Structure 1
């Protein structure tokens, strides 16, 4: 099988599984192809060293990456059409200590390809309600839990009467109706610089891909306090943990009380027929009202609310999730 045909065959399999990433890793003998799905890592096949080297060289050529450089890290991008589905590929290659090159392909789906399960979710009206007013809405959850899909769908539903602008590092989902900006530190396109530019474009909705440090946290707070709806993500173990994480990043409680419109935690659970998204969330009033158990510390920051457990019970009752799966995710 020629490299182009092998790439297309591998991507067809990965997209059918709705995989987020495809890995080509050197092993003791030859290469292994695996993909990352909602259920974890799945093996897809094997290649000889010669076949893998030809495939990696082909992909790098198509993406205008240096074919001769096999040791240093390289990043690239490629647009392909696979079985009538237009996908954007983000590429990463690097050589190991034995000069064997590995490659990871991140599959960037169009929003219409990934948002169906979110739109059908019974909790969705409540999550959408978090965006009814200006402020910062932050989603948390582990990598691969669908946070970016959720914030894009929230923004998409506001897009009919709003200008949506995203600042990401890097762009995770393609949406032609949004103005999508990508951080490039070497070109001077930092989060802060892009935010200043973005404010001149006067968008109604900001997407800030991920709050990963103090700088991006302050950018998100600044945009929210300026009267915009800001959608972002952060790594935290619960909805309440989002506030703790932002505090760790140096944001004052006063600013959080003024800026946050709501926080949300989500997981993508293996379903009987398709992955199922489960949400837990807290509104501004629930977070900062003195009468709230979340405000005065009666509830642990890692503890799920009743909404989480109710959603798991409903998913079991309607047959979309097996009881043993729901039990495994009781703690989030």
Structure 2
């Protein structure tokens, strides 16, 4: 079949146009929103044909073979498929490319994974030396598929009789597949070699890292290996090297809070503190703020490891093995004449004391602390030994945040009544539905919800005079403070998050 529309244009066509093309050419349109069991049909087409012509088989019976594609197929392609299944009817189904791509990549991954396992098993059964090239290709397949799915972490977990591969996607762990322990052990050894770790060490935890170019993009991988009951577990943290930095205007912060935030980060000195659990987006938010700060100012960051590369900042990589630890670096930074200092994390009493004093001596300091709410940070610092007057006059702003899963475009509207933070909420909200774009989870990506405690002179005085938690909170609420939960509620009313995600902020 010859068409005026080139392949690249077919990738842009919507459902209605593809339905019309299918109808005109006696083909069918395939709705990929249906949950398809592709694993049953992986061996119907050879991988070379799948990759060359971007097709996949989604159904086979005694009479026919059903092929999915985002474009009509040429006669030569149809002939190749027909030669493989001479006695069966070949049915071509068109589908939207953005949906089709997810299934195509899944099929290619599953076929390649099984091929690598078969080849690896053959090597191991013959007691041959490990094929490092094969293992490298095997590892790259696992990493590439995770990057395609935009996973943040990869978990390789040994169990009693098998090993699991799981990806963390939008904050949730999803099982990808399992495989035999012998192959897992060979892969584990190769990972240690790539990350320059001790291959013989099995009783101690090890950390390492490496970089790779995958899917035409450079990625950093941080590796943690931990001894477990049935072997050693491996976790990869995926960091996209040249990932576009978020801008403050893209973080869906309410206009009034955004304006105050931009004013506070222009302060010549003081402490801006970011609070929340691990994986709540604190580092990303800090780097977004650093990108907003005047380029004429000298910015120095202390990080372990460096997660985002900033063009206009001096970034210090800590190295405890070389006796260049956090405390030494922090003291040295103060002698480098900085305007702005970013400290990856306040880890102990000594680092807290240095950060507080730096913020009072003419430096704007950004740092993080693990607390559940903004106001809790004040009392956490007190418990770490900080004096009330130092806390009061160093702090400018405390931000507590979480990352919640964002609803996919396939969301469904419904009228809901529910209880949230001792209030009855009624109205039109959205719930997840599920489609190929979001791997049938109903969610795609994550967004930040946050509370901003802007410290005015009255709050500073209350902290210095050791006022109660409830007293400071009541004053803040009367003066425009919006808690984490109610920021999430605003986003739920806009259809950005579900009620299920909203309720996570009140746990």
Asked whether the two chains share a fold, i.e. TM above 0.5, the reply is: yes
Cα RMSD for the two superposed structures: 2.8
User: 1:238-284: CA deviations, max 9, x gaps?
Assistant: 01011111111111111111211110100101110321101101112
Shift of 1:296: 5.1
Cα 1:9–1:295 change in 2 (3 A) is farther
1:23-62 to 2 correspondences below 5 Å: 23-62=155-194
State the partner residue of 2:80. none
Return the match for 1:268 from 403, 406, 410.
Answer: 403
Is 1:101 matched up with 2:272? Answer: no
1:224, 1:39 → 2: CA distance? 34
1:7, 1:175 → 2: CA distance? 29
Is 1:277 matched up with 2:428? Answer: no
| Higher mean C-alpha deviation, range 133-142 or range 54-63 | 54-63
The question of whether the paired residues in 1 share the 8 Å contact of 2:266 and 2:293 is answered with no
1:75-224 to 2 correspondences below 5 Å: 75-96=207-228, 100-110=231-241, 112-113=243-244, 115=246, 119-123=250-254, 124-133=258-267, 134-158=269-293, 160-224=295-359
Cα 1:299–1:109 change in 2 (3 A) is farther
User: 1:226-245: CA deviations, max 9, x gaps?
Assistant: 21111111111101011111
1:183, 1:265 → 2: CA distance? 26
Cα 1:116–1:255 change in 2 (3 A) is closer
The question of whether the paired residues in 1 share the 8 Å contact of 2:400 and 2:484 is answered with no
User: 1:194-223: CA deviations, max 9, x gaps?
Assistant: 022212322222111111211221121122
2:170, 2:381 → 1: CA distance? 27
State the partner residue of 1:22. 154
Instruction: Name the SS of the counterpart of 1:227 in structure 2.
Output: coil
Instruction: Name the SS of the counterpart of 2:351 in structure 1.
Output: helix
1:233, 1:37 → 2: CA distance? 24
Relative contact order, CA 8 A, sep 6+: which one is greater?
Answer: 1
Is 1:250 matched up with 2:381? Answer: no
State the partner residue of 2:470. 298
The question of whether the paired residues in 1 share the 8 Å contact of 2:210 and 2:222 is answered with yes
Instruction: Name the SS of the counterpart of 2:295 in structure 1.
Output: helix
| Higher mean C-alpha deviation, range 43-52 or range 165-174 | 165-174
2:399, 2:223 → 1: CA distance? 30
Instruction: Name the SS of the counterpart of 1:19 in structure 2.
Output: coil
Cα 1:130–1:219 change in 2 (3 A) is same
Shift of 1:297: 3.7
1:3-14 to 2 correspondences below 5 Å: 3-14=135-146
Larger Rg: 2
Instruction: Name the SS of the counterpart of 1:161 in structure 2.
Output: coil
| Higher mean C-alpha deviation, range 262-271 or range 179-188 | 179-188
State the partner residue of 1:315. 491
| Matched pairs, number | 328
Instruction: Name the SS of the counterpart of 1:36 in structure 2.
Output: strand
1:314, 1:91 → 2: CA distance? 37
2:203, 2:499 → 1: CA distance? 47
Unaligned runs of 5+ in 2: 1-115, 117-133, 409-444
Cα 1:288–1:112 change in 2 (3 A) is same
Unaligned runs of 5+ in 1: none
User: Normalising by structure 1, what TM-score?
Assistant: 0.87
| Higher mean C-alpha deviation, range 120-129 or range 29-38 | 120-129
Cα 1:5–1:117 change in 2 (3 A) is farther
2:389, 2:472 → 1: CA distance? 21
